[in-house]
Amino acid sequence: MEKKKKLDAKEGQRLLHQMILIRRFEEKSAEEYTKSKIRGFLHLYVGEEAVAVGVIQALTEEDNVLSTYREHGHALARGVDPKAIMAEMYGKLEGCSKGRGGSMHLFDATKNFFGGNAIVSGHLPIAVGMALAAKKQKKNKVTCCFFGDGAAAEGEFHESMNLSALWQVPVLFVCENNLYAMGTAIRFTHSVQQLEKKGPAYGIESAAVDGMDLLAVMEAAEKAVKMIRETGKPYYLVCNTYRFRAHSMFDAELYREKSEVEEWKKKDPIPKFQDFLLKENLISAGQIAEIETAVEEEIRKAIAFGEDGTWEETGDLTRFVYSETQSI
Ligand SMILES: Cc1ncc(C[n+]2csc(CCOP(=O)(O)OP(=O)(O)O)c2C)c(N)n1
Ligand SMILES: [Mg+2]
């Protein structure tokens, strides 16, 4: 409630713009995928936008962000250039990972955005290591690590929680609990499904929040980041959310009822936040239309940039490969 009063029109509109950009960017990516312009894996974040936007707005530019293969939303919210993301998915040299990573490996060190990690839970130990480095270097840096409910069932999750608490490092673990790990429902992967209960077992302060409510996520993330900066300790935040689309582009969704998806769509975070802004007179219908138009233009430019991008010379394919680096 307090947060709602604090939010001014400019900031509210900026956040709405981010969520709409993520949604439209991904809808367009799916379209480009069906035209085979984008190849390889593609995991969409549609429905979960309030988590990335709500958490990342609580960080500073110096903080680190790590994510999974479902990371377009985090990259966009972090300010990675949509053109460089689209070119990456097109496999072009101008992509943020030189076209070699694709959708699952977006990376931009200038934004302190460290992936894009395709190994489920594999980036949690990396996040703890980065947080340890920041502590040793006496940098005021929070390392924020997004992962899914499936990742929280992996060994790395438990090792990372344990070590982060033991070493007292400034890391924010953000679990995006969308109730499924590919086609496996959470009741088949977790003995205790209130995932925030696992933090206190390691002595880590933890909370759960409605991940479909941007304002609630913002408030929870701000509280978490404040605690981390004040104490240097880790924090575990579970955002309960839902993906509206399939796990990836190769998923017939035989594991859930259409009616379940429809029920969750009623909690869509974008109209919810839009309605809030309208009700509080922080935006007008005309301004919402302007955001949609601006986003459309940003995406048009991103597609054109990807199309016009350069294919890497086949002779360069072994560049940046470990074996070549070793012989230099
Ligand atoms: C170590 C490892 N095991 C299995 C896979 C295959 N895999 C890719 S995504 C995924 C599901 C992960 O689910 P979750 O962590 O809940 O994230 P979500 O996709 O729901 O965002 C699996 C098992 C993988 N990439 N890495
Ligand atoms: Mg999941």
> Per-residue pLDDT tens for 13-65?
999 999 999 999 999 999 999 999 999 999 999 999 999 999 999 999 999 99
The mean per-residue pLDDT over the stretch 145-173 comes to: 98
Nearest-atom number in ligand 1 for the CA of 154 is 1
Helix, strand, coil in percent for the chain, rounding step 5: 50, 10, 40
CB 99 within 8 A of CB 80: no
The mean per-residue pLDDT over the stretch 117-140 comes to: 98
Kindly state the tokens that stand for 302: 């991103």
Nearest-atom number in ligand 1 for the CA of 43 is 19
181 forms beta bridges with 184
pLDDT for 108: 98
pLDDT for 324: 56
Of the candidates 19, 41, 18, the one whose C-alpha atom is nearest the C-alpha of residue 29 is 41
pLDDT at 4 over 90: no
Of the candidates 134, 158, 135, 157, the one whose C-alpha atom is nearest the C-alpha of residue 147 is 157
pLDDT for 325: 55
Q: What is the rounded average pLDDT for all residues in the chain?
A: 96
The mean per-residue pLDDT over the stretch 118-126 comes to: 98
Residue-range domains of the chain with CATH: 2-327 (3.40.50.970)
H or E element, residue 148 = strand 143-148
Q: Mark residue 191 as left, alpha or beta (left: phi above 0; alpha: psi -120 to 50; beta: remaining).
A: alpha
pLDDT for 6: 79
The mean per-residue pLDDT over the stretch 103-121 comes to: 97
CB 180 within 8 A of CB 247: yes
1 pLDDT band, cuts 50/70/90, is very low
Closest ligand relative to 178 C-alpha: 2
Q: Does ligand 1 come within 6 angstroms of the Cβ of 151?
A: yes
Axis-axis angle for helices 269-279, 49-56 (nearest 10) = 60
**pTM assigned to the model:** 0.96
Give the C-alpha separation, 257 to 23, whole Å.
23
What separation in Å is there between the alpha carbon of 321 and the centre of ligand 1? 26
The mean per-residue pLDDT over the stretch 81-96 comes to: 98
Nearest CA to ligand 1 atom 3: 120
Least confident of 66-80, 182-196, 256-270, 308-322: 308-322
Percent of the chain scored above 90 by pLDDT? 93
66 forms beta bridges with 145
Residue at 230: amino acid letter: E
Q: Does ligand 1 come within 6 angstroms of the Cβ of 150?
A: yes
The mean per-residue pLDDT over the stretch 69-82 comes to: 98
The mean per-residue pLDDT over the stretch 221-236 comes to: 98
What separation in Å is there between the alpha carbon of 153 and the centre of ligand 1? 10
CB 50 within 8 A of CB 19: yes
pLDDT for 326: 54
pLDDT at 71 over 70: yes
Nearest-atom number in ligand 1 for the CA of 48 is 21
The mean per-residue pLDDT over the stretch 107-131 comes to: 98
> Per-residue pLDDT tens for 263-299?
999 999 999 999 999 999 999 999 999 999 999 999 9
pLDDT for 171: 98
What separation in Å is there between the alpha carbon of 180 and the centre of ligand 1? 9
Q: Does ligand 1 come within 6 angstroms of the Cβ of 195?
A: no
What separation in Å is there between the alpha carbon of 240 and the centre of ligand 2? 10
pLDDT for 318: 83
Give the C-alpha separation, 299 to 294, whole Å.
9
Q: Which of 26, 120, 250 to mutate to test the pocket of ligand 1 (most atoms within 8 A of CB)?
A: 120
Closest ligand relative to 247 C-alpha: 1
pLDDT at 327 over 90: no
DSSP 61-104: TTSEEE--SS-HHHHHHTT--HHHHHHHHTT-TTSTTTTSSGGG
